[in-house]
Structure 1
Amino acid sequence: MDTYKIMIVDDDPHICEIVQVYCDREGFMSTFSHSGTEAMKLLTTFEPDLIVLDILLANENGIDWCRNARNFTSAPIVFLSSQEEDEVKINALTYGGDDYVTKPFSPGVLMAKIKAHLRRVSSGRREQLLELPGLTLDFYTQSVNIGGEAVFLSKKEFSLLSYMAQNVNRVVSVDTLFQIIWGMESLEDTRTVAVHISNLRKKIEDDPADPERIITVRGSGYMLVANSS
């Protein structure tokens, strides 16, 4: 059975302790952070399956943290908050949250919600992997696994890589990538494709200056190369 990892982000040590105790009882692995800055660093090292997030962090808004975190993870985010206003709940769920629990809260109810989200995560995971020689794309975490290590990508970087992976060893034009990823209504121009490809290479290539995975086909576009070797 999978051991799920829960990350708790709350500036109240007592809340963190309560949630951790209940996570331990369920056999979950858990960790916590009292600040948004620390939590963002922890996000990429701990790789949580679910995040319990306070709305009112010290010197930071939990909703803003959630919006930023969505560039790095698709893990369900369950908000904890003493705020009961509909507007706050709507914003929390609109900008990346998956659930909302008000304080004071029942630990049993919170754990029931966590387990429900984890069941959905588990059922969908097997269908969210795209395996190619040398790399595996994980659509759940929006990451690519290279040599046993997960490399987290921004949404645009992952969209570029996943589209090229579905057209592996085929040249994809810059115009096609731009229209598929950014859309016709974008205020950007096609030069942004090259910028994102450059950033993507820095994350997945051994030598970004001499790429072997994403190669440039002059006058045509880019190609993701996945050789059996």
Structure 2
Amino acid sequence: MTNLLIADADAETRLKIRNYADPREFLIDEASDGISAIKLFRRKEYDLIALDVFLPELDGLNVCRQIRKVSAVPVVFLTAKSREFDRLAGFEAGGDDYIVKPFYVSELFARIHAILNRCRGTQKRILLSVDGLSVNLNSRSVWTDDIQVFLTPKEYDLLVFLMQNPNRALSRDAILSNVWGEEFNGTDRTVDTHIRTLRDSIRPYGNHILTVWGIGYKFER
């Protein structure tokens, strides 16, 4: 399934895009302003983002610049401006393509498919997310809903290890080996202490970290 974020101030444009998309192929989230687009981007990993240049609150060019600080996700600009200067501004902000309004939705999806086919397999997964909890591996930032959470380095490494191995029962020894390293001389109770503080730090999503009695812990998606 392909995750798309459509950020456009015009509700009719968003509706046309949603109605055209094959629901068996695309899951679509919508934003009507730039701030909402950034919030959605932080919560979820997208395969492609379509951005209206003239978004309220924060315009599409600035949204793209913020995205480019942490992600190489493909961005297609949607805009009524067709001058060379405007197109260049979109590409300089980090856009991958530029389509002028009014446009045929079929053309938009042809471009989307072309970009996805070209990029497929080349993008590294840099965002781990479940519900409102997200971890950006590039910036080492953690978010619960729209609030950034500041973890200790070991809490962060522990969270990433658990989230990268979802639904797997991980022993304390395996966690120690992968998070603290083979040379660690402490006891496995170190894991218990860090799990407890980590759960508290990422509330209300700490309940995704489950205790597996007699073994260790697992992160349940």
The offset of 1:8, in angstroms, is: 0.3
Q: Distance in 2 between matches of 1:45 and 1:120?
A: 25
Q: CA RMSD in A?
A: 3.3
* Identity in percent: 27
Instruction: Tell me: CA distance 1:90–1:201, structure 2 relative to 1, closer, same or farther (3 Å).
Output: same
Please, which of 136, 151, 173 is the counterpart of residue 135 of structure 2? 151
Q: Identify if the C-alpha distance between structure 1 residues 200 and 71 changes in structure 2 by more than 3 Å, giving closer, same or farther.
A: farther
Say whether 1:116 aligns with 2:70: no
Is the 2:53–2:60 contact (alpha carbons within 8 Å) kept by the matching residues of 1?
A: yes
Extract unaligned runs of 5+ from structure 2. Answer: 142-147, 162-177, 183-187, 189-221
Aligned residue runs from structure 1 range 10-49, under 5 A:
10-24=8-22, 27-49=25-47
Distance across 2 between alignment mates of 1:207 and 1:75: 23
Partner residue of 1:180? none
Q: What TM-score comes out, normalization by structure 2 length? A: 0.60
| Equivalent position of 1:216 in the other structure | none
What residue identity is the alignment partner of 1:151? V
Looking at structure 2, the residues matched to 203 and 52 of structure 1 have their Cα atoms a distance apart, in angstroms, of 35
Q: Distance in 1 between matches of 2:81 and 2:24?
A: 28
1:202 partner SS: coil
Asked if the contact 1:77–1:98 (Cα under 8 Å) also holds between the matched residues in 2, the reply is yes
Contact 1:143/1:153, CA 8 A, preserved across alignment: yes
Of 53-62 and 74-83, more deviation after overlay is shown by 53-62
Q: Distance in 1 between matches of 2:155 and 2:41?
A: 24
- Equivalent position amino acid for 2:42 in 1: T
**Partners in 2 of 1:203 and 1:152 — Cα distance?**
15
Structure 1 residues 46, 143: closer, same or farther in 2, change over 3 A?
Answer: closer
Question: For the residues of structure 1 that align with 2:78 and 2:35, how far apart are their CA atoms?
Answer: 18
* Cα shift readout 1:105-138 (whole Å, capped 9, x = no counterpart): 011110011011111232324xx4xxxxxxxxx3
Which letter maps to 2:102?
P
CA distance in 1, matches of 2:4, 2:33: 16
- What residue ranges of structure 1 are gaps of 5+ in the alignment? 129-137, 159-198, 214-223
Residue 144 of structure 1, CA deviation? 6.3
Pair 207,30 (structure 1): closer, same or farther in 2 beyond 3 Å: closer
What TM-score do you get using the length of structure 1 for normalisation? 0.58
The match for 1:181 is none
Give the match for residue 205 of structure 1: 154
Count of residue correspondences: 156
The 1:76/1:207 distance shift into structure 2, 3 A limit, reads closer
- The alignment partner of 1:205 has SS state of helix
Instruction: Verify: 1:104 aligned to 2:102, yes or no.
Output: yes
Q: For the Cα contact (< 8 Å) 1:20–1:31, is it kept in 2?
A: no
Partner of 2:181: 227
Give the whole-Å Cα distance in 1 for the aligned partners of 2:46 and 2:75.
10
**Which residue of 2 is the match for residue 53 of structure 1?**
51
Give the C-alpha shift of residue 26 in structure 1: 6.1
